[in-house]
Structure 1
Amino acid sequence: MIPIRCYTCGRVIIHYYDEFQRRVRNGEDPGKVLDDLKIDRYCCRRTLLATVDTTKDIIKFSKHVYRW
């Protein structure tokens, strides 16, 4: 699941997630991307780096959403 806030300090980080993922998928260095996004707290950096989006895996088991 994508975190809305940093688990340690409580800073809202959800609005950085899409930009971070897009730029990392395009081949940029994750540390450089976090620096460009002005995320300098190590707890917030850790949270974004360690997040694994499992939504697509979980949604397969929902009868109401998964209809393929």
Structure 2
Amino acid sequence: MARAPCSPVAHISSLHSGSAMIIPVRCFTCGKVVGNKWEAYLGLLQAEYTEGDALDALGLKRYCCRRMLLSHVDLIEKLLNYAPLEK
């Protein structure tokens, strides 16, 4: 039984539960897992931590890993506005 192909946007839409994100799972440079720290990072920023203090609290010491969270632009909400092509 073959499955119907699914577009990436449709797949993201099906996974969207209000807290979906598109952040790399690992640091591009050293390979450390950083994808699981995004929600905690946002929570610390909401709790009035500075960016540097929040990254220190999460245990991100290397500048390559810190870059992954500091430079991330959360585009998931904008991507979900585009519906996949209906066939």
Report the TM-score, using the length of structure 2 for normalisation. 0.66
User: In the TM superposition, what whole-angstrom CA distance separates every residue of 1:2-52 from its partner, at most 9, and x where no partner exists?
Assistant: 111111111111111110012113321010011111110110001111001
Structure 1: tracts of 5 or more residues without a match: none
- Larger Cα-atom Rg: 2
1:28 to 33, 49, 54: 49
Aligned equivalent of 1:45: 66
Structure 2: tracts of 5 or more residues without a match: 1-21
Report the TM-score, using the length of structure 1 for normalisation. 0.82
4+ aligned runs moved over 3 Å, structure 1 = none
Aligned equivalent of 1:5: 26
CA RMSD of superposed structures (Å): 1.6
Aligned equivalent of 1:17: 38
Aligned length: 64
Distance in 2 separating the partners of 1:27 and 1:3: 25
